[in-house]
Amino acid sequence: MSDWKLDIGATVLDQGKVRFRVWAPMARNLSVRLISGSGTRDLPMERDERGYFSMMADNAWPGDLYFYLLENEIERPDPTSRFQPRGVHGPSQIIDPAEFQWDDDRWKGLSLKNYILYELHVGTFTEEGTFESVIPCLDYLKGLGITAMELMPVAQFPGSRNWGYDGVHPFAPQNSYGGVAGLKRLVNECHKKGIAVVLDVVYNHLGPEGNYLSSFGYYFTDKYRTPWGEAINFDGPYSDEVRRYFIDNALCWITEYHIDAIRIDAIHGIFDFSARHFLEDLGEAVHRQAERLSRKIYVIPESDLNDVRVINPRETGGYGLDAQWNDDFHHALHTLLTGEEKGYYRDFGKISHLEKTYREGFVYSGQYSEFRKRRHGSSSKEREAHQFIVFSQNHDQVGNRLTGDRLSQTQSFEKLKLAAGVVLLSPYIPLLFMGEEYGEAASFQYFVSHSDESLIEAVRKGRREEFASFQWEGEVPDPQAETIFLNSKINRGLHLQGRHHTHFRFYQELIRLRKGVPPLGHLNKKDLDVRGFEEERLLYVRRWYGAEQIFCLYNFNETLTSFQLSHPHPIPPEGEGKREGDRVRVGLSLSMGKWIRIIDSASPEWDGPGSLSGDIIESGPLGISLQIHPHSFVVYRMEVS
């Protein structure tokens, strides 16, 4: 059983009794304005020495609405509101967490090593854009091979369309998505299907509209700046209560909503120079609660700092978080596929970058970054493979492009398959972005639905400035336009049509191989040999587990390439290649024996130009000779007698 309960906000006690408690050190007088079927009552609250106001209300029930009344005149929603049925500016609603009947008692979570993530935006994943409308799609995700669904932020935001990063009520699921009951039903059904649920949370800022926290307490600080608004006060005066507020938020999601992992947005925007970082406290609290609940629960931050301390164990001075998104992997892959070199992509573009991220995790581990004009990152070489989330696309890397274009809109089918192989057959935790698996034709663009004209114009201006470093040509789409939101909705039915269906089957097969071939499912950077060949734009990967082993050859070249895998002794030093005519001859630690092809992206089965190498090849004294099509990959598995 859980020893933790949310003790701020509106807490339902006995029949007809509700306790209200709020941290408001800036207020002198505070009351609850209770709105029910029997009328409106103003109920005075008492203050304690820490600045918490509280009171016990009789004849108050779940479903009743309320505001806090500041200084006897200013109505404000509850900072810890569990539900905002009328939006960010409206009254909060009393919610009894015990009302929902869960039937996922047998669910204990999944090992992080078994996560295959699928990131989705609730508003654009289905035509209805609600939590409950996702439920009928769970069999589709299960059939694809997904084991974990990651929801973009669902905390109450202004209007009915938003990415979620403008949330202002961290404890309240979005009303237009279906609110408390809808989210709980979705999580409950996911668990019954064996799918874990990851929730994206935002602890670096709050949105600009409907953000009333500063009316109550010292939640923000002007010591630091973020690109998105006021920085949260994690290390200044009164920060103890602020830290507790956000830790309680994480505990609320995992306890009251049975969430399996939280993905923390952009922790480089969380500023804390105290002796013990907020993220360390947060991770420890979540892991402690996981033990109490007897469930596997994880904390997965997003960061562009390449700071290994985030995922280092606490006993070695790290924050002890479970895994993190690895943007370096994306950038290394994206630049090889597209040739882009503007903005942060200028730091990438070589096979050696992809080789290093395959071997270590971070590409930038202390060397100079041309984009940042300074040294960047720390080494992740010693961290476990399952501590890195990798992807070829996600909401940021698609939606923060000028037109929100996906790889499927700009790259060839062969390149799309190549990208899928690099991600899904990597030794890391793969993440797919909704629609990627069948080559979705719709863009995913940035959208908002603010009500203040000056704010709307500020958002437009901010988007124009954000794109400046990439020097993209064209008009910046209007984030406020409803058409931008509607055009971002995906059409999942495409997965049954033509090449989209082939694309979908290809993803299914890669996931099946990842789950079924031990060296591919064994996430260990030590049981891996990876070599990149710059001139030929080839990446060779060999992985093993026990007596089983596979090798993958990824070709990023524009032309057909001949390749000979030899044994180490003929060509010192190991791994370096030399050209013999039109063939690259390479000395690698490849075992002698019979190798069976398990997938070739160029196969006619996957609408490719045709396999160039045999289904079965023998590795003798001279090694193995292969030919490989442009922008394709092949995987062979050694026959074990």
Assign 201 to helix, strand or coil: strand
Separation CA 311–CA 323 (nearest Å): 6
Q: What is the CA radius of gyration of the chain?
A: 26
Contacts of 166 (CB under 8 A, 6+ apart): 157, 158, 207, 208, 209, 448
Spatial contact of 69 and 30, defined as CB atoms under 8 Å apart: yes
Alpha carbon distance, N-terminus to C-terminus of the chain: 50
As given in the structure block, the two tokens for residue 67 are: 């505001």
Q: Return all residues near 109 (Cβ < 8 A) that are at least 6 apart.
A: 196, 260, 295, 296, 297
| CA angle 87–152–2, rounded 5-degree value | 85
Give, as one character, the DSSP assignment of residue 345.
G
Whether the CB-CB separation of 42 and 69 falls below 8 Å is answered with: yes
State the Cα–Cα distance between residues 115 and 296, nearest whole angstrom: 12
Distances (CA, A) of 454 to 169, 208, 248, 451: 22, 11, 33, 9
Distances 334 to 339, 342, 390 between C-alpha atoms, Å: 8, 12, 12
- Which amino acids are annotated catalytic? 265, 302
CA distance linking residue 272 with residue 284, whole number of Å: 16
- Rounded Cα distance, 208 and 261, in Å: 27
Residue position matching structure tokens 């734009």? 537
Q: What is the full DSSP assignment across 428-488? A: SEEEEETTGGGT--S--------S-HHHHHHHHHHHHHHTGGGT--SPPP-TT-HHHHHHT
